[in-house]
Amino acid sequence: MIETLRTILEGALERLHNHITTYLPAILAALTLMLSAWLIAWIARWLLYRIIKGKAIDRFLRQSGLAFMHGSGRLRATKMVAESVYWGILFTGLLMGINVFNTDLTTQIIQSFVFLLPKLAMAGLILLGGVWLSQYLGRSMLVWAVNEDFPSPRRLAVVVRIMIMFVAVVVAAYQLEFARPVFLTAFILVAGGAVLTVSMAVASGLRTELRRYFDKKGEDAAQSEERSLWSHL
Amino acid sequence: MEGARLPVEADRAVDAIRHADIVIGIPSYNNARTIAHVVQAVYAGLAKYFPQLTAVVINSDCGSTDDTRNAVLSAQVEDNHLMLVSTPLMNAHRLSFPYHGVPGKGSAFRLVFRMATNLHAKACAVVDSDLRSITPEWIDMLLRPILFADYDFVAPYYQRHTYDGTITNSIVYPLTRSLYGVRVRQPIGGEFGMSARLIARYVERDDWETDIARYGIDIWMTTVAIAEGFRVCQSFLGAKLHDTRDPSSDLSAMLQQVVGSVFMLMEEYQPVWQSKIGSEPAELFGFQFDVGLDPIRVNVDRMVQSFRRGCHELGEVWALALQPQTYADVRKLGRCVCAGDATFQMGDDLWTRVVLDYCCAYRKHPLFRGHLLQSLTPLYLGRVASFVRENESFESDEVEQKIERLCISFENLKPYLKAQWNDEARFHAVEREVGDTAQ
């Protein structure tokens, strides 16, 4: 009885020993790689913040409007480059760490990621474009609505921004082949809902509101005829 | 670059006429009601004051649908009532063409200038087609300094109603004067005289496809003439009365094009304006006299409402366009207006800082230039409303003195502009200095 127990225990300890001797070096190697990657990423970011001035890139970001993706319009080239490099190195370190285990699962993860990378990049670009467009058109709508005396300019601008971002997210998800039917259905529902809402609104109260608005514009125009000798130039 | 070429019929006309001493340009768009009077005045002016010189009158039309071109070509010009001292050598040619390219006054002028260059004209003048107060003397006053006193650019000097020309009075005149150091009172007047040298310079420039093609043309012509050292003077033309129009139509676009052109030229001529201090009057020709002007009714409440809406809705844009102190002052004013304070005042100092901050924001691109310039409209209307209320009971001389004070405010704050324009760090030091001085 004691002999059997001893055999079982010895077997368990041996298996544990085997597991430890098999996986511990790999885990240690993976941790070392990830730690090194984090260290390199941190140093690279620290250096880049000090080296890159990026005035020309900043100007490009402002002129192209990409700087406005950050709400304050203060997106800077240095930050973009440094943070991209930081996360890039960190992520590469993570993949290298996983690769150390050399199992079917890890190989599959890495392969999937490598194949996904171009789609991820494209989806990222689509989202970036969506953010840019939503900022630009949202602000255009805001300023136009204020100058044209149109009701609720800020709400209109928010609606424009949300709609464009929603379309961008749907296209990005489609590109990533991520829950395509869900996003497509959601898009159809939202678009259809929006059309239906506008139709019902026009049919009921909005028609009166619009008539009132255009009547007011007409009155203003008629009033301005009286004082039309005035020129701004 | 469609506008860079002359239309075929214009080319043919140049080939047929070959040479003209004087070219008069009249841009038009649906001005059939008034353009015949303008053509008659121009013809009378040419016959009366320049009978020995050959002339061509060119109507450059933007595709009018009200038969404007026919009104030009069929306008009756009878010089037997003009009591001419000399009989003109030959009648002026009269041409009317539709121009190509970007629709706008600037594109119309481009056609006229190119034809003037090809015809080797010694002098060229342009007049608006909606003028009711033009007389033959205007042609004399616009061309004589060019032809007989070696000036290159003649700007108009009018008597206008105190509320008329508010973009001129509150932005363009004070800013141009403080930047380039020359006091041209009507830099976007609409009627100008130019020498062949200056016309050649205009034609060779490559910025015709910008806002210059539209309302920006007037300030562009004036600024190029001043900044590039051409000889500039003014001629007194009397009263300026034009055809009735809706002042609120296209205000935002008009403001964007005019102010955008001023800012664009500021970038180009930065070395010129940064070295100028103070200002000097431009030579003024002509016998000045007082004129009775039609009263102008202005809807102040509507302007206040627009300013109020801007304060409510455009905070996110103004915060990017204006310096923190200026924005804080605008918000304070906005709170007064929203609280129903009917006597609010946007003073000279605040308005000057608003305009100068917009100049620098245009250069530094904190947001799209189109959005930036359009967001100026409610602020401008707030300033106009404040100006109108403040000057309701004043005579035109007193109002002119107030405009002069605004100009001095622009000149005094030029170091603030330069510091902000050139260097943000230096700007904050100067801003503190200016703040201390103000206190």
Mean local confidence (pLDDT), B304-319: 91
Domain with CATH 3.90.550.10 in chain B: 2-285
Contact yes or no for B129/B26 (Cβ under 8 A): yes
Q: Do residue A123 and residue A214 come from a single domain?
A: yes
Q: Do residue A18 and residue A118 come from a single domain?
A: no
- Mean pLDDT, rounded, of chain A: 81
pLDDT tens, residue by residue, A147-157: 988 888 999 99
Instruction: Identify whether A6 is part of a domain.
Output: yes
* Rounded CA separation B41/B125 (Å): 13
Task: Reply yes or no on whether the pLDDT at A33 is more than 80.
Answer: yes
Instruction: Identify whether A68 is part of a domain.
Output: yes
Instruction: Kindly tell me the burial class for residue B369, based on how many C-beta atoms sit within 10 Å of its own C-beta (0-12, 13-18, 19 or more).
Output: middle
pLDDT tens, residue by residue, A124-145: 889 988 988 888 899 999 999 9
Q: Do residue A115 and residue A201 come from a single domain?
A: yes
Contact yes or no for B411/B177 (Cβ under 8 A): yes
Give ipTM to 2 decimals: 0.83
DSSP strand E in B253-318: where? 280-281, 283-285
Contact yes or no for B165/A229 (Cβ under 8 A): no
Q: Answer yes or no: do B310 and A146 touch at CB < 8 A.
A: yes
| Residue A53 DSSP SS3 | coil
The pLDDT of residue B21 is 95
Mean local confidence (pLDDT), B21-26: 96
Q: Do residue A55 and residue A35 come from a single domain?
A: yes
* Rounded CA separation B355/B80 (Å): 52
Q: Do residue A171 and residue A114 come from a single domain?
A: yes
Mean local confidence (pLDDT), B336-356: 89
Interface test with A, best of B365, B377, B384 (most A CBs within 10 A): B365
How many other CB atoms are found less than 10 A from the CB of residue A150? 14
**Any CB–CB contact under 8 A between B302 and chain A?**
yes
> Is the torsion defined by CA of A172, A178, A184, A187 positive or negative?
negative
**How many structural domains does chain A have?**
2
Contacts of B37 (CB under 8 A, 6+ apart): B131, B132, B134
Instruction: Identify whether A226 is part of a domain.
Output: no
Task: Reply yes or no on whether the pLDDT at A63 is more than 80.
Answer: no
DSSP strand E in chain A: where? none
Q: Do residue A64 and residue A25 come from a single domain?
A: yes
Q: Do residue A15 and residue A55 come from a single domain?
A: yes
| Residue B235 DSSP SS3 | strand
Task: Reply yes or no on whether the pLDDT at A118 is more than 70.
Answer: yes
DSSP strand pairing (B55-61 vs B93-98):
parallel
Sheet bearing B55-61, strands edge to edge: B93-98, B55-61, B22-28, B123-126, B192-195, B153-159, B232-239, B283-285
Contact residues of A toward B, CB < 8 A:
59, 62-63, 65, 68, 72-73, 136, 139-140, 142-147, 149, 153-154, 220-221, 223-233
- Boundary residue ending a domain (A58, A84, A102): A102
Instruction: Identify whether A231 is part of a domain.
Output: no
Contacts of A192 (CB under 8 A, 6+ apart): none
Q: Do residue A58 and residue A165 come from a single domain?
A: no
| Residue B93 DSSP SS3 | strand
How many other CB atoms are found less than 10 A from the CB of residue B336? 15
The pLDDT of residue A209 is 67
In terms of Cα–Cα distance, which of B74, B14, B94, B84 is closest to B50? B84
Question: Which one of B215, B258, B374 has the shortest CB-CB distance to A147?
Answer: B374
Instruction: Identify whether A233 is part of a domain.
Output: no
Q: Do residue A207 and residue A110 come from a single domain?
A: yes
- Boundary residue ending a domain (A102, A123, A158): A102
Instruction: Identify whether A230 is part of a domain.
Output: no
**Any CB–CB contact under 8 A between B205 and chain A?**
no
pLDDT band at A116 (very low <50, low <70, confident <90, very high): confident
User: Which domain, by its residues, includes A95?
Assistant: 1-102
Instruction: Kindly tell me the burial class for residue B384, based on how many C-beta atoms sit within 10 Å of its own C-beta (0-12, 13-18, 19 or more).
Output: buried
Instruction: Identify whether A120 is part of a domain.
Output: yes
Instruction: Identify whether A130 is part of a domain.
Output: yes
pLDDT band at B360 (very low <50, low <70, confident <90, very high): very high
> Is the torsion defined by CA of B258, B261, B267, B273 positive or negative?
negative
Q: What does the H/E/C string look like for B381-432? A: HHHHHHHHHHCCCCCHHHHHHHHHHHHHHHHHCHHHHHHHHHCHHHHHHHHH
**Any CB–CB contact under 8 A between B366 and chain A?**
yes
pLDDT band at A98 (very low <50, low <70, confident <90, very high): confident
**Any CB–CB contact under 8 A between B239 and chain A?**
no
Superfamily grouping for domain B2-285: Spore Coat Polysaccharide Biosynthesis Protein SpsA; Chain A (3.90.550.10)
